[in-house]
Structure formats: C-alpha cells, structure tokens
Structure 1
Amino acid sequence: MAALDAAFASMIAEQEAAAKANPLPPLDVLPPEMVRVGYRTQRQGQDQTAPKDVTAKDLTVAGAIPARLYTPAGAATPSALLIYFHGGGFVIGDLESHDGHCRRLAAGAGCRVLAVDYRLAPEHPFPAGHDDALAATTWAFDHAGELGVDPARIAVGGCSAGGNLAASVALDLKDDPKRRLKFQLLLYPGIWPQEETASRKDLDGPVLTKEALAWFEKLLAAVGHPQAHRAMLAARDVAGAAPALVVTAGFDPLKDEGRGYAERLAAAGVAARHVEYPSLVHDFYVMCDVSPAAAAASAETAAALKAALQ
C-alpha cells in the first residue's frame, strides 16, 4: 500500500491532536445542522484557490430544487453540461461546501456545471435526495436551451453520496430514448455493497470513519425501504448505462466498492475506466488547498471530463 500523502498526513495529525485536547461528542448526539455547519466551514477553508473566472448563478430547477449554474470564461453556447451532486452521506454538504470543486470542474472541462442542492436526511428521508437528483436531471434535459447546453452532451457526476446519486440517475435513465446521458463521473462513490468490502472492514478513517458511515446510513433510512435499490446499487442491472470514469482514493473505505462498480460496468459492456489515487483520502476533491496532489488530481479529472464531453 502506498504511503499517505504527506500534506494530508500532517493535516490528520493536527486534527487528531486537537480532538485529543478537546474531545468531540459522538455524532449521534449532535444535531445534523451543527455537523453541516462544521463541515461547510472546514471544507470552504480548505479550498480557497478555485478559479475565479467562472460565473455562478443561483436558480431553482424542477419546481423547487435549489441549484447553481457555473459557466467558465469563454464557454461556448451551447456547451456540454455536468449535472453535479455533492457528497456528504446524504446528510451534510451543500452548494457552498463544494463550490470550489464545481468551479474547478467547470474551468478545467470548459463546460457548464449545474450543482444540485438536493434534500438531505433526516429531515427529508430516503428517497427524497434520489427523487431530486432524477428530477433535476430530467429538468436539465428538458430546459437545455435555456441553460445554454447541448442536450447531446449532458453528463451526471458526484462525489461520495453524490456519486451514488449520479450512478442511480444514470441507471434510471439508461432506457430513456429522449434523455441519453453522455457520461457519468463517479468520484469515490458510495455503491452500498451487498457484503462488507475489505476496505470498509479494514479502514476506519482518515476523514471517513466507521462512526460516520453508520450515522449516515441510520439517518438516510434506506435499508428496508421498498425503493432501496435506488441507493443500494450492487444488485442493479448496469448494462446500457452511460460511459463512466470512476475515481477512488487509496485511504478511503469506499475504494473497493468504487473499483468493483467500475469492473461491473465494464463486464456489462459499458465503457468504464477506473483511476485510483493511492496516496489520497476520501473527500480530497474539496480539500485542494491541503495538498498539491489533490489539486493535480482535480485537474486530471477535469481534463478527462472535457475529453469525454467533446
């Protein structure tokens, strides 16, 4: 196994020392909104150097879903579009926590990015977020002209829980002749394996801990739901899905399921590529100021997206 990136190792050591000096209460006793504020503040502080030449316009899609449209300088009209779902275990994360990341993707890929502020659990239990993701994607296809977008070059993407949403939408639309996705960008996605993977078993952090995974799952309340298959993707038929890039991180408990999903897609005849950054951690795309390696990986991902949407 590769060594943990030195910059992230330093960050984690500092966080562990701070937690030892001032122990935090268990997640189960904290209000979700308090955790959201802490996460948003931390991630905003770790990505202050995103490109400035990207305009951002807040709007409402599919009736009532907040969203933000990013347009990079010099973007053609129409351009390709990435519909993006932020990470955060379906419980935390928002447009602000992932603002820098979306700006990097828009600038690097030269395309518009529509970030979707889907409803979060536990206030909005499963499948609210999945319903919003599908509704926003359908809306984007149906309003491509208004967005300045070529409907033949629309992709979905997301990180972590957002990767689950993107993959789920790609499966929901794979047989829709009017809404053909060009690509799916799955960044350390949660696939919800039927059996515990080795990486979920062996890795407890850094960044994504066993406690956090259990908390997210409990608050989402998808297990046992009649539509659970929309989140638990391990058993779904993936044949006919859009081409995909699946990115994983070496120090991430989700890495095995991401790799496994890329392999399932490829075995079903989908043009799927898997890239792993062995020294990086979960959530690195929203911590680009922490390590040059994260910023470099972000640039490589944006370039791959640009090539896929030509």
Structure 2
Amino acid sequence: MEDLHGPNGLPLRHYRPREQARPLVVFAHGGAFVIGDLDTHDSICRRIADACDVEVLAVDYRRAPEHPYPAAIEDVTAVLRWARPAAVAGDSAGGYLATMACLWLRDASEALPAVQILICPNTDLTLSQPSVVEKGTGHALDASFLAWAITQWTPDPASRAPASPLLAPDLHSMPDALIVTAEHDALRDEGDAYAYRLARAGARVVHRQEPGLVHGFIQNTDLTSPEAATAHGRLFNNIAALIHR
C-alpha cells in the first residue's frame, strides 16, 4: 500500500497485491457525500485487491458541504483520465460518483473504463423511489439523513434531477456494469432501476439484490453472518470475473 497524490494534488491510496502489475480499479468511497475517506474504506480496498487479484486506487475526493456538486465528480473524473483504469468502483455515494464520472467521460467522447462496479449506489437524488419510504426507517440508512446529505451535496433542488444518473435521458455507450443492491436499503429501488436502464441501453449488466442485507453491508467486516459472508464472496467473484475476462 502506498499513499500518493494524483491530479490537482488529490490524495490517493494505491493497493498492489502482487509484485507484478495487475488490472487497476479506481475506487470512490461511500459516505453520503459528506463523510468517509481513505481510512474508512481501507479494509474493503485491501480485500478487493487481494480477493480479486487487482490493483486498487482509492480516491480521497472533495466532500460537501464545503465542496458541493459537482466537485467530487470532477475529482473522480480527473483520476479516471489520469489513471486509465480497467474499472471504476464505488459504494453508496461512491457508486454515484463512479457512474457519473463515466457519464461525463462518455459525453466528452473520452476513454471509458471497461467496467463500472456499483455497490448500493445512489442514482436518484430526487429520492422518488418507493424503497426510500419502505426501507428508510429502522435499517442502516435513514431516509431523513439521506435527504439531509443530498441537500448538502445539491443545495439547489432544481439541480437534483439533472444530476441523477437514473434520470439521464440517454445511457447508451456506457461501460458494462456490476450492480449489487441490498433488500433492506433505502437506495435499493434506484439501484435496481439503474441496472434495468443500463441493460436496456445496451450495457452488459450483472445485477443482484442481496436478500436480508442492509445498506453498507460491504463495510461490514464481521463475516460471521452467513448472508454477509456469501454476499462478499459473490461480489469478489463477480469483480474478478468481469475484470479478468
């Protein structure tokens, strides 16, 4: 593992499981746009690198409210241009940033990663999907906190629909995707709907809703739960299969 700086001085952390070079995955951490950093997601980046036989480059992007939309998208996009990875990945808000960066690169007719890996991603900043109400109380991600966080990221309500990947008018020519959602997650329906729209637009999509799990399950290092252990194993197997195909 090595800490370094990327474009515009962005702090990065590079994980390399083998001496020989491996395919590179750029990783954007979750944290509702306002929290999270290289340390909060250090464990999962190490596990992805080791289990999937890939290098991981984690991005410490700028966060709201000091740096609202589109600052973090600019940061992740800059790293994709700079690193030219095989894949881009992220969980929760990081999944949003990963796919928004792909949209930006596509719209600019620039090189795209071959794969996007989205774990419990935000895709609809308008919070209009049914699971926000159905699963937004009593589970890991509370709908009131989610609404507050989105307000920090996009203070202007009029910007939320245009900034939502699920509501993008055209998803053609986007990278193939692995999208994993969780049954008891307020963001479940928008992740599921995004997987459907990407597939309809022509991307090859591996999509799974993990039964019995909550938002942020990927951060759970207690794998004594059979459901969590199985979900992690499936995720790592999918990542490896897509990147090493």
Q: TM-score, normalised by structure 1?
A: 0.73
**Deviation for aligned residue 1:221:** 2.3
**Matching of residue 155 in structure 1 with residue 96 in structure 2:** no
**Matching of residue 129 in structure 1 with residue 72 in structure 2:** yes
Distance 2:209 2:19 in 1: 29
**Deviation for aligned residue 1:296:** 3.0
Distance 1:201 1:140 in 2: 39
Q: 1:298 aligns with which of 232, 241, 244?
A: 232
CA deviations on 1:135-175 (whole Å, 9 max, x unpaired) are: 1111112xxxxxxxxx5xx1001000000001111222236
CA deviations on 1:10-45 (whole Å, 9 max, x unpaired) are: xxxxxxxxxxxxxxxxxxxxxxxxxxxxxxxxxxxx
**Deviation for aligned residue 1:234:** 2.2
Query: Is the CA contact 2:92–2:122 (under 8 Å) kept in the aligned structure 1?
Result: yes
- Where does residue 242 of structure 2 map in the other structure? 308
Distance 1:249 1:163 in 2: 14
- Where does residue 214 of structure 1 map in the other structure? 147
Cα–Cα, structure 1 residues 76 and 308, in superposed 2: closer, same or farther, change >3 Å?
farther
SS at 1:174's partner residue?
helix
Query: Is the CA contact 2:124–2:161 (under 8 Å) kept in the aligned structure 1?
Result: no
**Matching of residue 197 in structure 1 with residue 129 in structure 2:** yes
Query: Is the CA contact 1:208–1:252 (under 8 Å) kept in the aligned structure 2?
Result: yes
**Matching of residue 67 in structure 1 with residue 12 in structure 2:** yes
Pick which of 254-263 and 165-174 moved more.
165-174
**Deviation for aligned residue 1:104:** 0.9
SS at 2:74's partner residue?
helix
Query: Is the CA contact 2:118–2:177 (under 8 Å) kept in the aligned structure 1?
Result: yes
Query: Is the CA contact 2:102–2:112 (under 8 Å) kept in the aligned structure 1?
Result: no
1:1-310 → structure 2 map (5 Å cutoff): 56-72=1-17, 74=18, 76-77=20-21, 79-141=22-84, 154-174=86-106, 179-192=111-124, 196-203=128-135, 204-224=137-157, 229=162, 231-236=163-168, 237-289=170-222, 291-310=225-244
Query: Is the CA contact 1:285–1:295 (under 8 Å) kept in the aligned structure 2?
Result: no
Distance 1:240 1:98 in 2: 30
**Deviation for aligned residue 1:63:** 2.3
**Deviation for aligned residue 1:219:** 1.2
Distance 2:194 2:156 in 1: 20
Pick which of 122-131 and 248-257 moved more.
122-131
Query: Is the CA contact 2:90–2:118 (under 8 Å) kept in the aligned structure 1?
Result: yes
Pick which of 93-102 and 284-293 moved more.
284-293
Cα–Cα, structure 1 residues 270 and 102, in superposed 2: closer, same or farther, change >3 Å?
same
Distance 2:138 2:230 in 1: 22
Query: Is the CA contact 2:125–2:150 (under 8 Å) kept in the aligned structure 1?
Result: no
Q: Which amino acid aligns with 2:187?
A: L
Query: Is the CA contact 2:103–2:174 (under 8 Å) kept in the aligned structure 1?
Result: yes
**Deviation for aligned residue 1:184:** 0.4
**Deviation for aligned residue 1:108:** 1.0
**Deviation for aligned residue 1:259:** 0.5
Distance 2:210 2:62 in 1: 30
Q: Aligned pairs, how many?
A: 241
Which structure has the greater CA radius of gyration? Answer: 1
Distance 1:223 1:190 in 2: 18
Distance 1:66 1:228 in 2: 30
Q: Which amino acid aligns with 1:183?
A: V
Q: What's the % identity of the aligned pairs?
A: 39
Cα–Cα, structure 1 residues 71 and 222, in superposed 2: closer, same or farther, change >3 Å?
farther
**Deviation for aligned residue 1:193:** 5.7
CA deviations on 1:59-97 (whole Å, 9 max, x unpaired) are: 11102111100111x3532x2111000001100111111
**Deviation for aligned residue 1:247:** 0.2
Query: Is the CA contact 1:75–1:111 (under 8 Å) kept in the aligned structure 2?
Result: no
